[in-house]
Amino acid sequence: MRTEMKDGTRVVVSDNGISEELSVSKFSHLLASKDRDFLLSPSGAQVKVCDLEGKVVGLLFGANWYPPCRGFTQMLVGIYEELKRSVPDEFEVVYVSSDEDLDAFSSFYGNMPWLAIPFSDLETKKALTRKYDVEGIPCLIMLQAHDSKEVRDGVELVYRYGVQAFPFSRQRLEQLQKEDSQKRENQTLPNLLANQHRDYVLSHTGFQVPVASLVGKTIGLYFSAEWCVPCAKFTPKLISVYHKIKQELSEKGDEDFEIVLVSSDRDQASFDSYYNTMPWLALPFGDPEIKNLVRHFNVQGIPWLVIIGPDGKTITVHGRSLINLYQENAFPFTNAKVEQLEKQLEEEAKDLPTLVFHEGHRHDLNLVSDGNGGGPFICCVCDEQGSSWAYQCLQCGYEVHPKCVKAVDRDHNNNNVLMDR
Ligand SMILES: [Zn+2]
Ligand SMILES: [Zn+2]
């Protein structure tokens, strides 16, 4: 009797010539080599590749010298440990290293709680890289025991859904995407902000404000943290705009606006001191809904301002730019309002001088717009984003908001302010 390996299937040919196909672990085929049937483990013990039989296996391609790999690995350790507790025998990760030498491998692998292909087995590592077309790291390929199709965007899946993505199959992925779009369709303020343990948000007076009492208002969800430098610049601006909007609305009396801080502060003390500077409401520090909201709105960086309409649906996830561009006039942040503001800007621009000499710059500045040399920019005076109209230096690219220009006489002899808008 002899056996041969063919595509993860052991073909057993018996003495009478009748062959029989026995399914062996596809992982042996992928992860073992001619003279190695084991993987490394953190304890140093060898783990047989066939022990992976029946599990979901993530192949992690990475290297210590690339910072995004270090960041992702750290995150994956958390997910891995959680899954080891909840489904101890169903998930494994195997590290496929692109480290430059054995020392680098050993020190990076020293932080990982999962298995690894030995650093010296270049051939297997190369074959895996080729088989899965790995072009960039970190890369996480999810293999299913009983599905020949792998899921390739494990990195994004883990970032976006965390342990919820388990077992990382295509079916699970489709299900999660369906849930996401359903959640967006059925989005209401209570299902965004409350959960079965908490039906309120915090206020400064120490009172718990019921989420139900916010229904029907325009709500800003402010993703921010004390440690974030751009937040430190944006928060005072948002506070001033908030007060102006509240003031205007209190005179009208029919609409209402509120902001809820969704903090990613690292401890209660920083949350407390940061929230103390703000006049609005907040989700409690470390609340489990915070992670869900970050995922739901695909928050990619802070500060980030999402605006929810009175019907509980999302109006915009670009509240920050709208505040920067239009301040309190941006309220209620709807498309119709933004279109109206854009038109207004066009009208106002007609009265602007086409050329100014600005006190903060040594060259002339030209008025430009989207269709005419302009585009999105960062204002050199206020450091905030701008779009459409700007004053731009054609020599060095210096660009400012029209509202930030302080025009002066070119000769600077007398600092007559010609335009101060
Ligand atoms: Zn500016
Ligand atoms: Zn210049």
Question: Does residue 408 lie in a domain region?
Answer: yes
Residues 56 and 168 in one domain: yes
Structural domains of the chain, count: 3
Q: What is the pLDDT of residue 24?
A: 54
Residues 85 and 111 in one domain: yes
Residue 401 sits in a domain of what CATH number? 3.30.60
The closest ligand to the CA of 400 turns out to be 1
Given 117, 150, 179, the domain boundary residue is 179
Residues 307 and 161 in one domain: no
**Residue environment code for 108-127, b if the CB has 16+ CB neighbours within 10 A, otherwise e:** bbeebebbbbbbebeebbee
- Cα–ligand 2 centroid distance for 399 (angstroms): 9
Structure-block tokens of residue 271:
């949350």
Given 282, 307, 340, the domain boundary residue is 340
- Cα–ligand 2 centroid distance for 364 (angstroms): 7
| 365-382 pLDDT tens trace | 999 987 777 778 889 998
Question: Does residue 15 lie in a domain region?
Answer: no
CA quadruple 117, 123, 126, 130: dihedral sign: negative
- Cα–ligand 1 centroid distance for 402 (angstroms): 7
Question: Does residue 7 lie in a domain region?
Answer: no
- Cα–ligand 2 centroid distance for 350 (angstroms): 23
Residues 102 and 212 in one domain: no
CA distances to 202, 279, 300 from 227, rounded to whole Å, are 21, 19, 16
Q: What is the pLDDT of residue 287?
A: 95
- Cα–ligand 1 centroid distance for 321 (angstroms): 12
Question: Does residue 80 lie in a domain region?
Answer: yes
Q: Which residues of the chain have pLDDT under 50?
A: 1-23, 413-421
Domain that holds residue 72: 21-179
Q: From the CB of residue 176, how many other CB atoms can be counted at a distance below 10 Å?
A: 14
- Cα–ligand 1 centroid distance for 369 (angstroms): 15
Q: What is the pLDDT of residue 213?
A: 96
